[in-house]
Amino acid sequence: MTDFGIKEALLELGLKDINNGTSTGSDNFSNGEIIESYSPVDGKLIGKVVATSKEDYEKVMEKATKAFKSFRDIPAPQRGEIVRQFGNKLRELKEPLGKLISYEMGKSLQEGYGEVQEMIDICDFAVGLSRQLNGQTIPSERPMHVMREQWHPIGVVGIISAFNFPVAVWAWNTALAWICGDVCVWKGSEKVPLCSVACQNIIAGVLKENNLPEGVSSIINGDYNVGEMMTNDTRMALVSATGSTKMGRAVGTTVAKRFGKSLLELGGNNAIIITPTADLKVVVPGAVFGAVGTCGQRCTSTRRLIIHESVYDKVRDAIVGAYNQIKIGNPLDENNHVGPLIDHDSVNTYLAAIAKAKAEGGNVLVEGGVLEGEGYESGCYVKPAIIEADNHFEIVQHETFAPILYLMKYAGEVENGIAQQNGVAQGLSSAIMTNELKEAEKFLSYSGSDCGIANVNIGTSGAEIGGAFGGEKETGGGRESGSDAWKVYMRRQTNTINYSDELPLAQGIKFDL
């Protein structure tokens, strides 16, 4: 793997030699268990980190809560300057960090670089926002009174991120949280722990250069047990969790019991509706990238194509033809389109889903399977599959984090296609391919797509940081990144100021003493 500069990338990111393994530099930590990170690209051990024990967690939280008391008093534009410096460091380290993401997670190198670019973009967004954390002035019904609304930092923000975007989702949260005056404690996925270590190394250097406490940004390592420490901790004002719907139910319930705040970004079961007027030059790349990008391991991956019966055969043949051109292999080789699944458990889930679809009556158009032989030694490379299915199939109703695309028909008006698209429990991303204005507007109307993201003539996958990202129903209802998503990281306060010499009461109430 050194041919692709992985060894050099690790060293540039402050990680030790790949042949000796790497650690978190955890001299301040106790005797937590060792987590080993193996690359799904070639099955090799990249390095090791120390899992966070209860004692370690307490040390982290003590530093974080102490840091918050000073960090919140720094003017927001100055906090924005810290984020600006962080973004510039990411620009300098885009290549090595992108390579690490690709090698540890398995996504294509282009996608690895793209993920770092998302981090840079959200930093730029946050820097501008640091001068725009505006409240509002509200007319009062009482003379010589004014009402104002302002926003204050909430405290310690806990971030639980998933393996598929090992750094970008953290940045979406933390860049906004920092400019809002919060401090962050991040539990990255135990499947990609070195990515979080690398990011912590970068921000730790920025904090040190600016004489800021290290508790402004902390990482913890481990499985769901460490996550439970966060969700049960009343010192965690907000827990932002990305993962499965099952995980989200546990997080949301636990945090709600202690009246904390949660931001949930959970599963998706995303569909593209393809109408009779759809342009195949748009349909094919949107559908294929949506289905096979990141080996089908995006929460916005396209799982279902809902195709009008009048164009079904033409669209089906075009999609199948495009699948024959997909190159699967080492994601660090930019000639390849698709890398491996994250691990062997995911491979088994993929195989079980295909078997289930067949058992329910699905017709396989592009056969799946595990790739073997030279270059596929990790055992995590699989073939993207296409299966004709019905929307009511049990397996179709559930999200499978793998490159399996279900094709199905709709007849009649576009409302019938929209009903199929909405006919699942998840509500993250959706799209329609049409050149008919009325169909597009129906899709975007109150009675149209029930998802948090609804696109016209682009796929379900790929979101810009300027818009709020998130979904409805079993996707959890959270919103991250752009628009006014910053408000979740702050607490709202309403102020009323009386600048008269009397005390008139609201609603004209008289209370004479």
Which residues participate in catalysis according to the annotation? 265, 299
Judged by phi (left if over 0) then psi (alpha if -120 to 50, else beta), residue 76 lies in: alpha
Distance of CA 47 to the CA centre of its chain: 24
Q: Are 157 and 489 within 8 A, CB to CB?
A: yes
- Strands 183-187 and 156-160, bridge-based pairing: parallel
Q: Are 164 and 296 within 8 A, CB to CB?
A: no
* Rounded Cα gap, residues 64 and 69, in angstroms: 9
Distance of CA 399 to the CA centre of its chain: 16
Nearest to 416 by CA among 441, 442, 394: 442
- Strands 302-308 and 453-456, bridge-based pairing: unpaired
Terminal C-alpha separation, the chain = 84
Within 10 angstroms of residue 285's Cβ, the number of other Cβ atoms is: 13
CA distances for 134 relative to 11, 148, 151, 484, 486, angstroms = 42, 11, 8, 11, 11
Q: Are 22 and 46 within 8 A, CB to CB?
A: yes
